[in-house]
Structure 1
């Protein structure tokens, strides 16, 4: 279930927190002409600040193109005068602006650029602000990567004694655990911690009380606690009335009524949501409301009325170019026509639904490759789901064929030969369909083994879940290409995908040769581990040997780029220690490892040099008899103090046979 803009709270919190240094603004208090006058009467850094303030006014009014134009002007001026904080603020607002338009790639890209600028000027509140925003963006996508940003933001908020920041992150963490990770105990703990701060009172706590209640409402709706969610959404409506968020809250109240079986009330709220969305020209909410309304009538004895609403939703989503909305409406139309027995129309919309689903995935995967975020792993996982859905499609076509054969049999019951021929054709179709199903199941199993270790995949198929396991000694390796981001800016998406696939496919071969386990890729970074899922004694040596082969391969590509693959230099970091391994997700499975060992290994990579293998003191103690190493001394590491590090010196040696 998709988390709403209001009730996931992340957008509200971004719009609230993004104002650090400017104070709270709203359309009712600040007039556009006054803001434009402020911009006209100032220059330099103050003008950049005023441009940012004006842009936020436009964002809050839903005038996104106008906001984008003003922010681009602010960025240009900030760069001319070297005003990094003003540039960072403008980039932050651009992230908010694009995220509000559901453009996840641009929103994340601008937010990342803003975060880097805040780090350059060592603005800790700004860093915490962007970490909170990015965590909220990933939260809205249901991506557990959100926790990698939310926890640091919480730690900085506590260090700064920034109660507002703490409360916002606690609500987001509660949403992550309650809405996506199915850990209600942790979710309620974060909600309880948040309530403690709210009860103590602080400036603006009344507003955050609303956000807190909205978070609980979303949690209860997702977990089918419809009575509680309805009460909470109804209580929120007076705060949203007259704003762009009113349609969203009405829609969620309608869903709560429908969950309670109160269909008439649900439809009334869906209709009110549609009317509010029309008023604000919010196509997304407009289509969602029509979709809910049409689906409600389809379930009852008024399918014609329901189809009318769904066709209107399809027309709006097509005109607006909203692929996700088109996908959802086509799925609803497919189910509606199937229920009426109009199988030709049902098949037409089902095919369109699958096309849109695949297209949306392709676009998302391409953006994530361009932005260096979980590119190939996501594609494999989504492909597995698509193959499983094809099994359903084959079964539905088989049922349609069965109905056609039955009708034909009744119509020509007097013609024995035609009956025999029809039965024979039916037998051949069923046999062929069963063979296709078995082939697709085999491919699905093969894809699952590409995502998870064999032992883990078997446990998942048998039990439906995987227990987390602790390994006392695992060697973790990270690799990262030097200059990848700069080089990729001059490449087309197709060239970028080809280049990354060329390197990572070879990396996969190398680690498989040494019996290592690939964990994941994150853009141009590659992560693997030795010593799991089956513990072995020589995993540090095997990981180093794999690292040596990777260095040689990358160097060979750099020396000979006849295939059009650009050459890179690679940094490698290795550390050994305990980890916890497990599977996250209920549909899009991901095998991952956690623990301080992973963090230290990542620090080994970021502290390494191009063309070098950097190992920790712990790993060195395990392999010093097998490899020639050079002591680097104690190196300063972010959040770790100083750590002893070593370079592998003789990369040509191979002690294992």
Structure 2
């Protein structure tokens, strides 16, 4: 057997997905699925719900959301709405999800507050299955606090209660999962006490139950925890295999909290194999995921892991820097003492539980006596039960039908939003570039050897705009640019951008063409004609502006800049010279460079006016030509 791996921090991982609740023909397990949460949020904004439907939707969002701050928002909204209609189970669900969120944020004080509220609701309303699950969550927190005795007692109490529920054949699927979770977490508690054989015993029990119910998240947690035990035993090959199997399932289900723990465990395994680079890679992956999902405790653990590795590699400076980061995140986690204060209040609470249990036993005995006295009514009770069962089955069928319609409608909304996004993207970028961005997530810059670039600018626009309101300014500039858009679309040119009253387009990209200089010159002349006609149309209530147009031809580099609000742009000296052609031109004339002239000089439909070499700002003297169409 290989040497035992040195574990640099205690992995405390609980199967927090078990905390669910049962309502009429609906089981809701706390296994997060961000895609479901996002689609339900979208539908919640666009659909008017009845009060009961809204409660179910809020519960589903809180249960599937992976962002802890969002869980808190939707859980509070669930509690508020549930209290308005006096729905006990939904109030319970809200406090349960709040506790889960604060626990993920390592705010154990608030987590316990909400778990104890949920527990009291379950006891006061004889919600036996819920009592079993909430015991597990409270035990989890005791385990995190290091109170192993109370943690074991609560786990065992939950196992006993849920085991009795299964014997009565009530709600068997939900209770099977919750019982498996209690076994898993008790095994985890023994693992933390280094009682490895006891831990494997309970993991084997939980694994069989999860497989029997086909609950893949539970199977993943079980595999991961078994992997941690084998890592502690020094059986690295088996440990790595189990941990990687667990991570694969958890990634598919977007359940990131345990992945951080398992990644750190794999980092230990690779360091033990003397593969330091791989160990650092897995530890850094753990920190990246923890930061992305706001898991403070896991961020701190990740930095501690890196600090340990660098210390062993004798890079003490780096190790110390990382250890300081660990301390910062460790101290940002809510003080354990606050949580312990709540734990100290448990004695009063446990007395209340004991009284409730005694009262329940008395009532149970009285019920047995009453049933003996009512034997003659058994037949009627059976008939009533059958009728009720048929009604409930019909109601279940109706709910399933409604659920199916809801899923179909949600799918259509998502598809519609995707189509809108595609249309918007193609309005911003060329089709080819938009497709590349969607497929690869980025766009490679490309060089085009021959492209014609056009710039326009209105004379005196700044002074003109000072006398307009913002609405009038946008309306007037939109009038001109919308018509310019139609013109360049007519000649298959590519609009690049507008800056203030300047308009820029290009020909010969994103698909190279031979006649780009010819087409862009025709477009430029048509733009000038449009501006002139606007000036001469007295009845048109639009500003009468003069325009300068410049064109240059040469090589450019084109690509997409930014990661948000993508913009397709071009760069190079060709662009700068084109801008100088515009600024060095005359109003209502098209001014072209020598390179563009050389491509057009043989076109009989154009006539040219040589301007000689004219000084262009920042470029020295450049040969320029005015171009017009032959009448």
TM bin, normalised by shorter chain, reads 0.3 to 0.5
Instruction: Provide TM-score, normalisation by structure 2.
Output: 0.48
Of the two structures, which has the highest relative contact order with CA contacts closer than 8 Å and spacing of 6 or more? 2
